Amino acid sequence: MTNWVHIPILANEIADLILTRPNGIYIDGTLGLGGHTKLFLSRLSPQARIIGFDKDEEALAIAKERVSDPRLTTVHASYTQAPEFLQQADISGVDGALFDLGLSSYQLDNPIRGFSLLRDGPLDMRFDLSASLTAQDIVNEWGLADLERILVDYGEEHNAHAIAMAIMAARRQNRICTTFQLKNIVEEVVHGRGKIHPATQTFQALRIAVNDELGNVEKITGLLDKILKSGGRAAILTFHSLEDRLVKNRFKELVQTHHWKLINKHVIVPSYDEIRQNSRARSAKLRVIEKC
């Protein structure tokens, strides 16, 4: 068994809200290490089925080992490809779907993946290792305007211009290849430490750009009608304000069509006890919608 620690966030709350049929078909749109799915299967009947999507082939392999249940079908693909998979499998719609937009502990804690500024490793940040664009490509090859744009748009970074300029200057001396190289560049620009490390927003911006995360959230909220059957529910778990704002606004638009209803009118957040046990839960926000 692979020894990655993984604690699924708001797992019981999500299960309570989307597992409306014990023998239904469900989607875990970001299977990760299978934490949510393992709990879901413990609540479902032997006839139920879960289809787990993930762009990270290594995470899929770990999830299959950890869950080890014939009711789980794993798919190495983005959750945005769910409608095509369902059509090919002759499934007209599912009873519920979870889209957990956070990084798994496996990705964060593995320095080789390049997501964490706490561990030195190659500046990669790809969810799908077969994808071509890496964070290293962006910091070494993109122009000043594009660097500044993603730092503002995806990182909400107030020092975007200064950081982009520092990246441009540093790469003229040596190629920026590692997470610590980038972290040190940002630290030279943004002095002092608040509640978060000064490079946190830069790393977030690069990760979002590499994986087109906001584009994928836009796509999936537009595809829910093709994924869910009538009465089916979609839960989206976000971890920063950009994603949550996008989901909130899109759900509002869907409700206005009168073909959808919100299950929780107010966003659901982890309890104090859950955050105390798992600090990575502190920024999580859950929204659930039902197809009428």
**Residue located via tokens 């982009």:** 164
Range of the domain at 180: 112-210
Q: Which amino acid is at 175?
A: R
| Model confidence, pTM | 0.89
The token duo for 224 is 């829910």
Separation CA 49–CA 28 (nearest Å): 11
User: pLDDT tens string for the chain (292 positions)?
Assistant: 445 556 899 999 999 999 999 999 999 998 988 899 999 999 999 999 999 999 888 889 889 999 999 999 999 999 999 999 999 999 999 999 999 988 776 777 788 899 888 889 999 999 888 889 999 999 999 999 999 999 999 999 999 999 999 999 999 999 999 999 999 999 999 876 667 889 999 999 999 999 999 999 999 999 999 999 999 999 999 998 999 999 999 999 999 999 999 999 899 999 999 999 988 888 999 999 999 9
Are residues 132 and 194 both part of a single domain?
Answer: yes
The answer to whether the CB of 10 falls within 8 A of the CB of 281 is yes
Q: Give the CB-side neighbour count of residue 233, counting CA atoms within 13 A.
A: 18
Separation CA 289–CA 87 (nearest Å): 22
Are residues 219 and 193 both part of a single domain?
Answer: no
CATH code where residue 94 lies = 3.40.50.150
Are residues 97 and 137 both part of a single domain?
Answer: no
Are residues 90 and 37 both part of a single domain?
Answer: yes
Coil, strand or helix at 290: strand
